[in-house]
Amino acid sequence: MSRQKVRAIVYAFVDQINAGDPKGLMAHQTDDFTFIDYDGDRTRGRDGWHSYFENYPEYKIHVKHMINSGCGVAIIGKTIGCHVGPVVEEQWTILWVAQVRDELVFEWRIYSDVHEVRERIGIGERGNNHLDNLDRVKSVALSFIDCINAGNSMGLMALQTENFTLIDYEGNVYQGRDGWYDYFTDNPEYKIHVRHIITSGTGVAILGRTTGSHVAPEVEEKETILWTAEVRDDLISEWRLYSDTEEIER
């Protein structure tokens, strides 16, 4: 499936959300559809939208940019009319990641910094279990990036699970903890520059840019890139890249 086709499917999904049409959404979801909220809570099944639209009839997603990773799409944007309220909506960073299979959406995941924003403006509670885990999960991901930026392949292997999976922006899947040494040898100046980091339960999304990668510098200056990491037992079990590199290179 082409990158353009995958994005079109996800755009259609967002259109149904913005229309407040639960039946339309169900038609765009697989039977085993999974919704994952920014606390990492999972809801399986195609229903559930109706009550949200009833409670928040003005809810809208405003898409700023979409970037691909194979049959996955990350949406950078903002909301209006959602349950967090307008004060938080003005300040938070939120993104959605959709996974597509057989031209239907089978997973919809939300990443945000809602808890940090609430705490900053005085309406959060540090004792909340989700808040207690935020710093730890983000710290694991940032330590992983520190090893990447140091070109430390052995350090990276120590931070990966035995069944570590890397998925590149074309959707190619690589399993196993080795492979970093060759990349660092070919690209010794490779660095990730973190702009913002947000969470979804034990998942982390990192917005930023690169320098010194295998991509030409003039592309690096223009591309939008996102990394998602899944943390398990204080180790990285999955590292995935989303970008618009192919579109910029054309």
User: Dihedral, CA atoms, 126, 128, 133, 136, nearest 10 degrees?
Assistant: 10
Residue 176 and residue 182: Cα distance in Å, rounded?
14
Mean pLDDT, rounded, for 18-23? 94
Domain extent, residue 76, equals 3-120
Residues 161-172 as b/e (b if ≥16 CB within 10 A, e otherwise) read: beebbbbbbebe
pTM to 2 decimal places: 0.92
For residues 82 and 153, membership in a common domain is answered with no
For residues 169 and 225, membership in a common domain is answered with yes
pLDDT score of 23:
92
Task: Measure the N-to-C terminal CA separation of the chain; round to a whole number of Å.
Answer: 18
pLDDT score of 126:
54
For residues 115 and 54, membership in a common domain is answered with yes
pLDDT score of 129:
63
For residues 34 and 64, membership in a common domain is answered with yes
For residues 140 and 96, membership in a common domain is answered with no
pLDDT digits (tens, 9 = 90+) for 84-135: 999 999 999 999 999 999 999 999 999 999 988 988 888 865 555 666 788 8
Number of domain units in the chain: 2
Mean pLDDT, rounded, for 212-241? 93
CATH of the domain at 182: 3.10.450.50
